[in-house]
Amino acid sequence: MEFRLEAHRIVSISLGKIYSARGQRGGLKLHKNLLVSLVLRSARRVYLGEPGGECALPPRPGPPPPDCERLRRGCRPLGSEPAAARGRAECLAESPRKRSAAERGQAAGSPGKKPRREAEPPPPQEDMETGNVASLISIFGSGFSGLLGKERGAAEASEPGQVCCEQPVLRSLNPWSTAIVAF
Amino acid sequence: MAGVAGGGGGGGGNDFQWCFSQVKGAIDEDVAEADIISTVEFNYSGDLLATGDKGGRVVIFQREQENKSRPHSRGEYNVYSTFQSHEPEFDYLKSLEIEEKINKIRWLPQQNAAHFLLSTNDKTIKLWKISERDKRAEGYNLKDEDGRLRDPFRITSLRVPILKPMDLMVEASPRRIFANAHTYHINSISVNSDHETYLSADDLRINLWHLEITDRSFNIVDIKPANMEELTEVITAAEFHPHHCNVFVYSSSKGTIRLCDMRSSALCDRHSKFFEEPEDPSSRSFFSEIISSISDVKFSHSGRYMMTRDYLSVKVWDLNMENRPVETYQVHEYLRSKLCSLYENDCIFDKFECCWNGSDR
């Protein structure tokens, strides 16, 4: 479960890296971008719950990372989406890590998106966000359009999960990708 | 210039205690980007230490001769020569700036009084000659002391110029420029044991050069797939064998090393030996691929072993055993639990080098 949250975070960080690599002095660094795209691919696989994605990860020993812990606690009562979103925003604010454009857009976007969240059912939501991500990758990662092809196929094949925490995560994914596309 | 470490001290018994014997450069945190050191390399004798920085400069340090009057200065290194090796360039065709950062420096074995080194940025390799001048000729017939030409009709007698000592001057001059052979970023150069050729490696190709010839190079390895979408690994480092001038190795981002023999074919796409340690499934994570990428490979002086550095460990391989290394050293295993943060702040992409000591211990 926490794999998916971690995977989601890693996906957004990776996309942020691919985006910022475009403006780097000295041109595209093939090695680094290849590694980032590999991480992105395995994180997406885990996030979408594909077979071979989760199996690739060992059962995590020790305590889960703190932000995922808080999120889990926040979303245990079913449907308490505002609490979960607040919890996530808190985690992001408290974290001393450098925040990528993705996270900034997400934190800013989630309160505003609350009314919209209630109305939309998960399946079209997921397709929309996958479409956004796929187009993002085609825009930003011109050398790895094979990744794009695999992801489109993967999105069609996967089923929307029924896990309680998926709702807030999915919903918050939308403003995030909108924010990046706006760049 | 950012700080750089000097040698080490010895300890008792089997435990070595390492400490800095000399630190050069700025100690405060505020270091200009251009001053950040990007590569270091000792020459064969260890008397000279070359450093390259992000601003395209090379600074060479020389070890002071140990003398009896100062027994405590055990070979201190002082600046010997500084020169601008590479300048930033602009590729108009691709609309890309080419960084002047020096990626690697390799010394050539010394054959006369002058020293030669190869320095490379992302695209161009340069051969530099570093020579000393401590004498000056005086008493020219056709020139005045200040260099002006004398009127030949005024010369009534001839004299032989005399060499007079002068303050030591160290000059660096570019002797060869090897350009336009790499589409991707050069990550390694390695001088061959024949002292005539060297290789340069970028992410997807390795080229063989002759030190005297700058307008041609031979491509000896090409791992570029026909379809770039199928790209799964890149070349990360390459080195010639110290004794066999036909053998070289190259490491990949997948944690594998390939040994190639140039006698087997002109294009060494098929390796002679393939070194890979099977992955430990219990330590798999999102970042397994990144941390298994090899950042440096070095042959031992004997040529029997090679050392590889990946993100968390150093491995020693016996060239006769391809399925696993003979020794593995965890350098900073405590970072394994922090890989996600290191990924976020880009530190997971840092590249470390490794090196054998003089006696391969």
ipTM: 0.83
Using alpha carbons, select from A20, A10, A4, A174 the residue that is nearest to residue A106: A174
The model's pTM is: 0.71
- How far is residue B255's CA from residue B277's CA, in Å, rounded to a whole number? 8
Cβ contact A58–B94 (<8 Å): no
Instruction: Compare CB distances from A34 to B234, B282, B340 and report the shortest one's residue.
Output: B234
pLDDT at B94 over 90: no
A13: nearest CB among B98, B284, B343: B343
Q: Given this model, what pLDDT does residue A21 score?
A: 86
Q: Search chain A and give the residue with CA nearest B290.
A: A35
Q: How many CB atoms lie within 10 A of CB B251?
A: 27
Q: What does residue A90 show for φ and ψ, rounded to 5 degrees?
A: -60, -45
**pLDDT-derived band of residue A119, with 50, 70 and 90 as boundaries?**
very low
Q: What pLDDT was estimated at residue B269?
A: 79
Q: Assess A149–B contact: CB distance below 8 Å, yes or no.
A: yes
pLDDT at position B122, please? 95
B285 → closest Cβ in A32, A38, A57 = A57
How high is the pLDDT of residue B73? 57
> What 3-state DSSP class applies to B208?
strand
Q: For A42-97, how does the pLDDT look when each residue is reduced to its tens digit (9 = 90+)?
A: 888 888 877 655 444 554 444 444 444 333 343 333 333 343 334 343 333 333 33
User: SS3 letters for B60-84?
Assistant: EEEECCCCCCCCCCCCCEEEEEEEE
Q: Which helix (H) or strand (E) holds B173?
A: strand B162-178
CA dist B210 and B45 (Å) reads: 24
**Which pLDDT score, from 0 to 100, does residue B43 have?**
93
The encoded tokens of residue B244 equal: 């066999």
User: How many interface pairs between A and B have CB atoms less than 8 angstroms apart?
Assistant: 89
Across all residues in chain A, what is the average pLDDT? 53
Structure confidence by residue, pLDDT tens digits, B149-163: 888 888 888 889 899
CB contact under 8 Å between B341 and A31, yes or no, is no
Higher pLDDT residue, B140 or B190? B190
Percentage of residues in chain A with pLDDT exceeding 70? 26
